[in-house]
Amino acid sequence: MSMATETFRLHAATPFDFVHTCTAHGWAVLSPFTWDDATQRLVRVERLLDGTHVVLHMRGIPHGVHVTVESATPLTPSQRAACERVVRTCLRLDEDLRPFYARIAEHPEWRSFPRGGGRLLRSPTLFEDIVKTICTTNTRWAQTKRMVQRLVEAFGERPTFAPHTPTFPTPQALAQASDEALKACGLGYRAAAVREIARAVAEGALDIEAWRTSEAPTAELRKRLLSLRGIGPYAAATLLMLIGRYDEVPFDSIYRDFVVRTFFKGEPPPSKADLQRVYDEWGEWKYLAYWFDPRWKDA
DNA sequence: CAGGTGAGAAAAGATAGCGT
DNA sequence: ACGCTATCTTTTCTCACCTG
């Protein structure tokens, strides 16, 4: 079998920390991403819109990322541009967090926060992020990893030159999947939610990818997310973060425990509203202020 | 005693249903 | 329309209980 390789570098216009971006949350170990901690490299198999399969190997360089692309045949200019777009999207190279950095500069306890940190890795498409987020609900992380792994194994496409590493399934593939096949991936009741969304996207009835660049207010996007079956308040907040809106906080058991420990230690049980309020002063940066709160280390 | 089997419990949010 | 509560759902883990 033949294989072509080429490399390119991409740079962020504002401060950027590759390793921090990859390890800021669990996404880097959800298939088809893999993260090698020893070499600090991120790998991903990707299906480009024209159906081409590529393997992207990413490593950090000053202010950016070095990418090695493997493909069956040499890339055309448009395929190469597509690879660049995927990397820019996943690593949020175009996101400007300088206003957030200005905010944390006012707080001495944030002093050790790395310059260029604060980005959270995401998938090339919002569709993939939605499916993965649904797989995080009502379960624990180990099971989430298994669900996603099995979905990719069962419904992904395998590059001829790398048959052991499938791509993330397309909406079309998941829309056609049978209930039994989806449940065999360990999705349980989530199977119906995933297929419903996959079907709507595949049919063109639901243009979720536009939500990432939408100018709509966060409340409106939240409403749209909540209208999807399988997505409740927690999942909506997580997806807003993945879209790039940080003005909501993911109220789950982890959040509750952390906030009670950190802000209400030894006090009578606070109400949900009290707990939800504690990051209000951070405005549109609430999610990042919570997620990267320096007090996690003390807990 | 090694190796199944099976009932609960635990964990984690989504969601329907009620009151204000 | 908003804020709680109670209920629903699935998978895995735990531990007692059989069985050959």
pLDDT digits (tens, 9 = 90+) for A98-137: 999 999 999 999 999 999 999 999 999 999 999 999 988 8
Domains, in order of start, for chain A: 4-110 (3.30.310.20), 126-243 (1.10.340.30), 253-298 (no CATH)
* CA-closest candidate to residue A229, choices A194, A178, A199: A194
Which nucleotides of chain B are near protein (any atom < 7 Å from a CB)?
11-15
Q: Which two tokens stand for residue A147?
A: 């669900």
Nearest nucleotide to A238, CA against C1' atoms? B13
Q: Could you give the C-alpha distances from A152 to A32, A88, A120, A167, in angstroms and in order?
A: 7, 22, 22, 6
Which tokens hold the place of A41? 């490299």
In Å, what is the separation between the CA of A99 and the C1' of C6?
A: 42
pLDDT of residue A121: 94
Chain C bases closer than 7 angstroms to a protein Cβ: 3-4, 9-13
Distance A164 CA to C11 C1' (A): 27
Residues A133 and A45: their CA atoms lie apart, in Å, by: 20
Nucleotide nearest to A190 (CA to C1'): C10
Helix (H) or strand (E) holding A179: helix A179-183
Tokens representing residue A14 in the block: 């504002």
3-state secondary structure of A145: helix
CA distance A247 to A223: 14
Nucleotide nearest to A142 (CA to C1'): C12
Nucleotide of closest approach to A147 (CA, C1'): C11
* CA atom of A106 to C1′ atom of C11, Å: 45
Place of tokens 């002093």: A111
- The nucleotide closest to A232 (CA, C1' atoms): B14
Dihedral class, residue A217 (left if φ above 0, else alpha if ψ from -120 to 50, else beta):
beta
What is the predicted pLDDT for the residue at A124? Answer: 95
| Interatomic separation, CA of residue A8 and C1' of nucleotide B9, rounded (Å) | 53
Residue A269: φ, ψ to 5°: -55, 120
Plot region of A215 (φ>0 → left; ψ -120 to 50 → alpha; else → beta): alpha
Residues with CB under 7 A from strand B: A 136-140, 193, 226, 229-235, 252-254
Q: Which amino acid is at A245?
A: R
Distance A139 CA to C8 C1' (A): 14
Q: Which helix (H) or strand (E) holds A5?
A: strand A4-11
CA A232 to C1' B16 (Å) is: 13
CA of A84 to C1' of C7 (A): 47
- Which residue has tokens 């993965």? A132
Closest-approach nucleotide to residue A186, Cα vs C1': C11
Residue segments in chain A with a per-residue pLDDT below the cut of 70: 1, 268-269, 298-299
Two tokens, residue A34: 């893999």
Biggest distance spanned by C-alpha atoms of chain A = 66
Q: What is residue A35's predicted lDDT score, i.e. its pLDDT?
A: 94
CA A188 to C1' B1, whole Å:
37
Distance A138 CA to C9 C1' (A): 8
At A137 the pLDDT is: 85
Distance between CA atoms of residues A24 and A45, nearest Å: 21
Protein residues with beta carbon less than 7 Å from any atom of strand C: A 138-139, 142-143, 146, 183, 186-189, 271-273
Neighbours of A4 (CB within 10 A): 13
What is the reported pLDDT for A5?
96
In the prediction, which pLDDT does A299 show?
A: 52
For tokens 């990413």, the residue is: A58
